[in-house]
Amino acid sequence: MDAGMDLLHSSGVSMVQYLQTQYRDSQSWFLFISFAADLRNTFFIFFPIWFHLSESVGVKLIWVAVIGDWLNLVFKWILFGQRPYWWVHETPYYSNSSVPHIEQFPVTCETGPGSPSGHAMGSAGVYYVMVTSILTILLQKHQPSVKNWCVRAVLWSVFWGVQFCVCLSRIFLAAHFPHQVITGVIKGMIVAEAFSHIQWIYGASLKKYLHTTLFLFCFTVGFYLLLKVLGVDLLWTLEKAKRWCVRAEWVHMDTTPFASLLRNLGTLFGLGLALNSPLYMESCRGKQGHSAPFRLGCIAASLVVLHLIDSFKPPTKIAALFYLLSFCKSAAVPLATVGIIPYCISSMLSRHDRKLL
Active site residue 119: yes
Give this prediction's pTM: 0.94
Per-residue pLDDT tens digits for 271-298:
999 999 999 998 887 777 788 889 999 9
Cis before 116? omega within 30: yes
- Give residue 320's identity as a one-letter amino acid code: A
Q: What percent of the chain has pLDDT over 70?
A: 97
Average pLDDT over residues 43-65: 96
Least confident span in 93-102, 221-230, 293-302, 335-344: 93-102
Q: How confident is the model at residue 76 (pLDDT cuts 50, 70, 90)?
A: very high
Average pLDDT, the chain: 91
CB neighbour class for 36 (10 Å; exposed up to 12, middle 13-18, buried from 19): middle
pLDDT band at 353 (very low <50, low <70, confident <90, very high): low
Catalytic residue among 9, 52, 119, 179: 119
When pLDDT is cut at 50, 70 and 90, the band that residue 51 belongs to is very high
Which one from 9, 52, 176, 179 is the annotated catalytic residue?
A: 176
DSSP 36-62: HTSHHHIIIIIHHHHHHH-HHHHHHHH
Residue 112 reports pLDDT greater than 70: yes
Across 90-103, average pLDDT? 85
Is 94 or 51 the better-scoring residue by pLDDT?
51
Of 123-127, 212-216, 276-280, the range with the lowest mean pLDDT is 276-280
Cis peptide before 178 (omega within 30 of 0): no
DSSP string, 51-96: HHH-HHHHHHHHHHHHHHHHHHHHHHHHH----HHHHHHH-GGGTT
CA dihedral 221, 227, 229, 234 (to 10 degrees): -80
Q: Is 197 a catalytic residue?
A: no
Cα 34 → chain centroid: 11
